């Protein structure tokens, strides 16, 4: 991971511990007029089926490598000063945060576009799988979608 890609501070990591957005929000400096935060949360349903719990399994070494690559590409494409992304692993209860992305940038268009790009690439490329547990006791694995490249 390049901590200063394109002049931006870049941080990407997987975490077995809960994501604390309050800390992420202190990102950037007073040179940044705009900050976007995206958080993904465990929903209580998927395609109409009640979900009770999720478990995330990661190919950790590759996921960290891909996440660093996504963030570096993003910091090279947009002018921003802080870019941070955290993806959970392990077991998550309903309402827990599965992913968080923080972008601080001088301008708001950048902050929105860079944030959206990062989450789309994460969903597409990160080798992380979630096992959804449904209320009826069944489970299903959901993975990345690299074929949508």
Partner 1 sequence: MTVTILLFAVYRELANTASLDLELPAEATVRDAMDRLRSLPGLGCLPAEPTVAVNREYSSLERDLRPGDEIALIPAVAGG
Element holding 105 (H helix, E strand): strand 97-105
Q: Restricting to residues 11-70, name those near partner 1 by CB under 8 A.
A: 57, 59, 61-62, 65
Q: Cβ 102 to partner 1, closest distance in Å? A: 26
Rounded Cα distance, 90 and 16, in Å: 6
3-state secondary structure of 39: strand
Of 18 and 141, the one with the shorter C-beta distance to partner 1 is 141
106 binds a copy of itself (CB under 8 A): yes
- Partner from a copy of itself, partner 1, none binding residue 108, C-beta < 5-8 Å depending on class: a copy of itself
Of 92, 75, 2, which Cα lies nearest the Cα of 39? 92
Q: Restricting to residues 114-133, name those near partner 1 by CB under 8 A.
A: 125, 127, 129, 131
The 8-class DSSP code of residue 40 comes to: E
The DSSP bridge pattern shows strands 82-88 and 9-15 to be parallel
Element holding 82 (H helix, E strand): strand 82-88
Binding residues (CB under 8 A) for a copy of itself: these are 21-22, 25, 28-45, 94-95, 106, 108, 111-112, 115-116, 119
Binding residues (CB under 8 A) for partner 1: these are 57, 59, 61-62, 65, 125, 127, 129, 131, 139-147
């Amino acid at each position: 991971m390049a901590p200063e890609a394109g002049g931006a501070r870049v941080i990407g990591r997987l975490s077995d511990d809960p994501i604390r957005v309050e800390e992420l929000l202190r990102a950037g400096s007073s040179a940044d007029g705009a900050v976007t935060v995206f958080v993904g949360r465990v929903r209580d349903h998927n395609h109409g089926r009640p979900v009770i719990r999720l478990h995330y399994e990661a190919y950790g070494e590759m996921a960290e490598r891909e996440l660093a690559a996504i963030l570096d590409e993003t910091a090279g494409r947009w002018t921003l000063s802080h870019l941070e992304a955290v993806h959970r692993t392990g077991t998550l209860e309903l309402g827990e945060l599965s992913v968080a992305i923080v972008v601080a940038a001088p301008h708001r268009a950048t902050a929105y576009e860079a944030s959206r790009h990062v989450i789309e690439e994460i969903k597409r490329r990160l080798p992380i799988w979630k096992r959804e547990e449904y209320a009826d006791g069944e489970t299903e694995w959901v993975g990345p979608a690299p074929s949508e490249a």
